[in-house]
Amino acid sequence: MALVAVGLVLLAVYPSEVEGYYDCKWNKDHNGNTIARIDCDDNPAAATLDGCQTECDNYYGCKGIVWIPNQYGWKDGYICCFLKKKIGKLQSQYNRVTCKKY
């Protein structure tokens, strides 16, 4: 019983800050609903999964991403991160990661 009380006190003192949680599916793509295409030559931080998610966190209305992990598969040779206004039906596609933001 004492452990439960301590746990509750810790939760009250250190509230959870789960914000921008992403559920990611590897080798899945979502076509459509793109609101921004991120140039990863100009913005190399977006070339990582965390960086692409940060772009989404900082873009009003972004509800998910499609990220291309392997540079050789980047769209037009430089687009590696697509911000989405919604994530709908997914299809299989190698070298794509689709993440829905919660």
Q: Which CATH number characterizes residue 55's domain? A: 3.50.4.10
Does a structural domain hold residue 11?
A: no
Distances, alpha carbon 81 to alpha carbons 5, 6, 38, 56, in Å: 44, 43, 5, 9
Report the number of distinct structural domains present in the chain.
Answer: 1
Specify the DSSP class assigned to residue 85: S
Tens-place pLDDT, residues 2-50: 443 434 333 344 443 445 699 999 999 999 999 999 999 999 999 999 9
- Cβ atoms within 10 Å, residue 59: 15
The pTM of the full predicted model, rounded to 2 decimals, is: 0.79
Does a structural domain hold residue 13?
A: no
Dist CA 27 CA 2 (whole Å): 46
Does a structural domain hold residue 66?
A: yes
The residue segments making up the domain with residue 80 are 22-101
Q: Which amino acid is at 29?
A: D
Rounded to 5 degrees, φ, ψ at 25 are -120, 120
Does a structural domain hold residue 4?
A: no
Does a structural domain hold residue 9?
A: no
Does a structural domain hold residue 15?
A: no
